[in-house]
A and B are shown apart, each in its own frame.
Chain A
Amino acid sequence: MNQVKEIFIIQDRCMGCHTCELSCAVVHSRSGNLYEAMAEHPRPVPRIYVEALSSGKPVPLVCRHCADAPCMHACIAGAIRKTPEQTIVTDPDKCIGCWTCVMVCPYGMVGRHPEEQKAYRCDRCPAIGEPACVSSCPTRALVYRSVDDYSKNRRQTAARELSSGEGG
């Protein structure tokens, strides 16, 4: 069965290199390559964010595309909808730039494009199969899997840890 995939973050693998941010901005640029993107206007911006905690630990965050998305419910212009692929998207033509979506997003994942003055967020790179952030992450801290698949994997890891604990 073809289940919807999510971008999951394996926090302890993130080294804070910001490659995901860069490749995200580039893949959303007009040219699609870094050398040309550097000269583009409007300036290409990332949709994934590597936040730093005071401990120095880097934490990547990206839109969760919530099943019951607060931003979608809150949008006064009706600009936000869910695609059949379960991706939350903002229609820039309808967006009035009121930033209500920004206020209600618990993760702070909605950005305000500096030149276009429209809200933007992760679109999971529908044109390229696997999101650019995932395929560019050098430590595989980002994975693109269904919830079932990810949970199964997680259970396997936990099971191995438990059983090795018993053996030790």
Chain B
Amino acid sequence: MTDVSTTKRSLDPAVNAMLDLAKEKQIDTVWDRYDAMLPQCGFGDTGLCCRHCLQGPCRIDPLGNGPKTGICGATADVMVARGLDRAIAAGTAAHSGHARHLAHTLLKMAEGKANDYRITDEAKLKSVAIRMGIAVDGRAAMDVAADLARAALADFHEKDTPVMWAATVVTKKRVALLSRLGLVPKGIDHEVSEIMHRTLYGVDADPVNLLLAGLRCGVADLAGCYMGTDLADILFGTPKPVQSAANLGTLKKDWVNIALHGHNPVLSDLLVTTAMKRQDLAKTKGAQGFNLVGICCTGNEVMSRHGIPACTHSVSQETAILTGAVDMMVVDYQCIMPSIATVAQCTGTPVLTTMDICKISGTDHMAFTEEQALAHAEEILKRAADRFEKRKGKSVTIPAVKTPVMAGFSTEAIVGALLKVDARDPLKPVVDNIKAGNIRGICLYAGCNNVKVQQDKNFVAMAKKMLKENVLILATGCGAGALMRHGFMDPAKVDELCGDGLKAVLTAIGQANGLNGPLPPVLHMGSCVDNSRAVALAVAVADYLGVDTDALPVVASAAEAVSEKAVSIGAYAVAAGLPTHVGVMLPVLGGPLVASVLTDKVKDLTGGYFIVDLDPESAADKLIAAIDQRRKGLGL
């Protein structure tokens, strides 16, 4: 029986089926906890509460009846700007923490301390090293890798050069612009730390100065993301188009199901390659083999590189456990709701935390190290197989919902596909089609699913509208997850979803690549750090046209954002000059000056700006209007 209130929670039928089951079993999920939280605090909602000092907490009355400043005298604009800056700093710390983890792994590998890792994409190692000014000719790959890892680690602190992963990845014009505005980060950690300093009691009380610092930290976040993508590609391979599938129907009753949840490929990639080799561990326990599935961005990482299916994403992560079919959920860090421990206790599903910065009470922990990576991976596979033996024969509830997915569209893969169309001038076909209007513009969908929005509703409504208007859509993170679960990455859906111009382009590229059909309607670019790939593509197109990124008909949307990482990504999208939509309310509305800077005035500085619109239809219209305005600017 389907409960009306349950179907309102998600657009995904598999998720709703699991929520019915949860209701029947009286297991609370994120949606129940959200209901219990309503109505949410208006001071927090508008960004007007501050706990930055011990004289607080302070709150400013958004309606103007109560206090108009904090105890220290901070105005509403100062308060919301400080709060926003700290969110950007947290997002930056997370993305760059992920990148730093990869840098340490690369260095340990190069120094012979982590022998279970190797250089999978030597060509990418060389190209990144050259970009970083590291000598490559005649040198052993391991030596180059060691230098590159050290250069990556050096980008975290202040040094003679700015953050190289920022300064070398945008257009030259953008570097000049950001330098003029004082927005080139000095060190990734430096920017995070400086935000903590300036938002301390009694430091920066100029809302515009605070926002500029937030933007600079956003540029540092771009560096962290870009570095994360580069180093992961070097270690684990640069994604190429790959067939896969999405949704809870990818779980298999008679297999050892391992859900990989979190963000970093350092462990998850190794688990995938080890599981492929050690199917015997599963078979001896009476299973057909190991069935690894992804959740959130760890899922995107292993889908892009190995075609590992995605089980579910973001706000519906608990539903994977509710199936009863998951034999182990292995998590690293970021976006892992602590509630999975509670839900897992109800179903008897083991949850294994693996990173020392991310332990969850009520779960098992294995302190994963790169030095012992393979041994740890095998141990995890064995434990999951043991658990399967106990589960074997018991009933599970796996919704028969599964969509085909074509993933793996790294920038290199896109350029590679274009090379088949024009071997000498690969970007020409894209640019020609943009000029001809077959591609009206490009939109990047990123970010999460937010419990405040019916799951996937904004992504699906906006993508539908924009595809019909011939906007080429790229997607990352759980935005990609939302779209893949609704068939947007199934090439068979091009006819149904895309406008004629876009259809012709996707078909021509597909045919040229021997796919016997088009590319999928939405191109999966990877995880949330892989928003860097979209930047790389935009920069390549801008360089080709001889313009800066703020002139391009390129827009971005975090239509159902949750994490502070989405805020920092939004900050760098705006710093790069993109009109950037956010489909949930940012906690800045209480500061009228801040709100107007973010949605309007910043345009005069970087060309980018935020569009906050909770209605997907009108948000899509605004993004299309922004695309058209930029086309006009280019004389198209």
Which residues in A have some Cβ–Cβ distance to B below 8 Å?
Answer: 17-19, 21-23, 25-26, 34-35, 37-38, 43-46, 135-136, 138
Residues in B7-62 with C-beta less than 8 Å from chain A: 39, 41-43, 45-46, 59, 61-62
Task: Tell me, rounded to whole Å, the shortest Cβ–Cβ distance linking B314 to chain A.
Answer: 25
- Indicate whether B589 reaches chain A with its CB closer than 8 angstroms: yes
Q: Number of B residues whose C-beta is below 8 Å from A?
A: 16
Contact A45 B62 (CB under 8 A): no
Collect the chain A residues with CB atoms within 8 Å of residue B66's CB: 18, 21
In the complex, residue of chain B having the shortest beta-carbon distance to the beta carbon of A26? B42
If A35-B585, A38-B590 touch, whether A23 touches B42 (CB-CB below 8 Å) is: yes
The docked-state distance in angstroms from the alpha carbon of A22 to that of B39 is 11
A–B Cβ pairs within 8 angstroms, 14 of them? A17-B41, A17-B43, A17-B59, A18-B43, A18-B61, A19-B39, A19-B42, A22-B41, A23-B42, A34-B45, A35-B585, A38-B62, A43-B65, A135-B39
In the complex, residue of chain A having the shortest beta-carbon distance to the beta carbon of B43? A22
Given A17-B41, A22-B41, A25-B63, 13 more pairs with CB closer than 8 A: A18-B66, A19-B41, A23-B39, A23-B42, A25-B65, A26-B42, A34-B62, A35-B585, A38-B62, A38-B589, A43-B64, A135-B39, A136-B39
B interface: dominant SS? loop
The docked-state distance in angstroms from the alpha carbon of A25 to that of B59 is 16
Partner of A38, one of B39, B43, B46: B46
Task: Tell me, rounded to whole Å, the shortest Cβ–Cβ distance linking A140 to chain B.
Answer: 12
In the complex, residue of chain A having the shortest beta-carbon distance to the beta carbon of B65? A45
Collect the chain A residues with CB atoms within 8 Å of residue B589's CB: 35, 38
Contact A43 B63 (CB under 8 A): yes
Chain B positions 54 through 94: 1 when the CB is less than 8 Å from some CB of chain A, otherwise 0: 00000101111110000000000000000000000000000
The docked-state distance in angstroms from the alpha carbon of A43 to that of B62 is 11
Collect the chain B residues with CB atoms within 8 Å of residue A17's CB: 41, 43, 59
The docked-state distance in angstroms from the alpha carbon of A25 to that of B61 is 11
Task: Tell me, rounded to whole Å, the shortest Cβ–Cβ distance linking B243 to chain A.
Answer: 44
Collect the chain A residues with CB atoms within 8 Å of residue B63's CB: 22, 25-26, 37-38, 43-45
A interface: dominant SS? helix
The docked-state distance in angstroms from the alpha carbon of A26 to that of B45 is 13
Collect the chain B residues with CB atoms within 8 Å of residue A46's CB: 65
Chain B positions 582 through 593: 1 when the CB is less than 8 Å from some CB of chain A, otherwise 0: 000100011000
Task: Tell me, rounded to whole Å, the shortest Cβ–Cβ distance linking A18 to chain B.
Answer: 7
The docked-state distance in angstroms from the alpha carbon of A21 to that of B42 is 10
The docked-state distance in angstroms from the alpha carbon of A37 to that of B46 is 12
Collect the chain B residues with CB atoms within 8 Å of residue A45's CB: 63, 65
Collect the chain B residues with CB atoms within 8 Å of residue A26's CB: 42, 63
Residues in B398-422 with C-beta less than 8 Å from chain A: none
Collect the chain B residues with CB atoms within 8 Å of residue A38's CB: 46, 62-63, 589-590
Contact A138 B41 (CB under 8 A): yes
If A17-B41, A136-B39 touch, whether A22 touches B61 (CB-CB below 8 Å) is: yes
Chain B positions 569 through 585: 1 when the CB is less than 8 Å from some CB of chain A, otherwise 0: 00000000000000001
In the complex, residue of chain A having the shortest beta-carbon distance to the beta carbon of B612? A35
Partner of A18, one of B46, B59, B590: B59
The docked-state distance in angstroms from the alpha carbon of A2 to that of B45 is 37
The docked-state distance in angstroms from the alpha carbon of A136 to that of B41 is 8
The docked-state distance in angstroms from the alpha carbon of A17 to that of B42 is 10
Task: Tell me, rounded to whole Å, the shortest Cβ–Cβ distance linking B66 to chain A.
Answer: 7
The docked-state distance in angstroms from the alpha carbon of A45 to that of B590 is 16
Collect the chain B residues with CB atoms within 8 Å of residue A25's CB: 63, 65
The docked-state distance in angstroms from the alpha carbon of A18 to that of B59 is 9
The docked-state distance in angstroms from the alpha carbon of A71 to that of B42 is 32
In the complex, residue of chain A having the shortest beta-carbon distance to the beta carbon of B614? A35
Please name the 10 residue pairs, one residue from A and one from B, whose CB atoms are nearest each other, closest first: A22-B42, A136-B39, A34-B42, A25-B63, A38-B62, A44-B63, A45-B65, A19-B41, A43-B64, A35-B589
The docked-state distance in angstroms from the alpha carbon of A57 to that of B63 is 24
The docked-state distance in angstroms from the alpha carbon of A43 to that of B68 is 14
Task: Tell me, rounded to whole Å, the shortest Cβ–Cβ distance linking B295 to chain A.
Answer: 31
Task: Tell me, rounded to whole Å, the shortest Cβ–Cβ distance linking A59 to chain B.
Answer: 16
The docked-state distance in angstroms from the alpha carbon of A136 to that of B42 is 10
Collect the chain B residues with CB atoms within 8 Å of residue A21's CB: 61, 65-66
Task: Tell me, rounded to whole Å, the shortest Cβ–Cβ distance linking A24 to chain B.
Answer: 10
The docked-state distance in angstroms from the alpha carbon of A44 to that of B63 is 7
Collect the chain B residues with CB atoms within 8 Å of residue A22's CB: 41-43, 61-63
Task: Tell me, rounded to whole Å, the shortest Cβ–Cβ distance linking B205 to chain A.
Answer: 22
Collect the chain A residues with CB atoms within 8 Å of residue B41's CB: 17, 19, 22, 138
Task: Tell me, rounded to whole Å, the shortest Cβ–Cβ distance linking A60 to chain B.
Answer: 14
Task: Tell me, rounded to whole Å, the shortest Cβ–Cβ distance linking A132 to chain B.
Answer: 8
Collect the chain A residues with CB atoms within 8 Å of residue B39's CB: 19, 23, 135-136
If A23-B39, A135-B39 touch, whether A34 touches B64 (CB-CB below 8 Å) is: no
Task: Tell me, rounded to whole Å, the shortest Cβ–Cβ distance linking B299 to chain A.
Answer: 34
Collect the chain B residues with CB atoms within 8 Å of residue A136's CB: 39
Task: Tell me, rounded to whole Å, the shortest Cβ–Cβ distance linking A141 to chain B.
Answer: 14
The docked-state distance in angstroms from the alpha carbon of A52 to that of B61 is 16
The docked-state distance in angstroms from the alpha carbon of A44 to that of B62 is 10
In the complex, residue of chain B having the shortest beta-carbon distance to the beta carbon of A135? B39
In the complex, residue of chain B having the shortest beta-carbon distance to the beta carbon of A35? B589
The docked-state distance in angstroms from the alpha carbon of A23 to that of B589 is 16
Collect the chain A residues with CB atoms within 8 Å of residue B42's CB: 19, 22-23, 26, 34
Task: Tell me, rounded to whole Å, the shortest Cβ–Cβ distance linking B535 to chain A.
Answer: 32
Collect the chain B residues with CB atoms within 8 Å of residue A18's CB: 43, 59, 61, 66
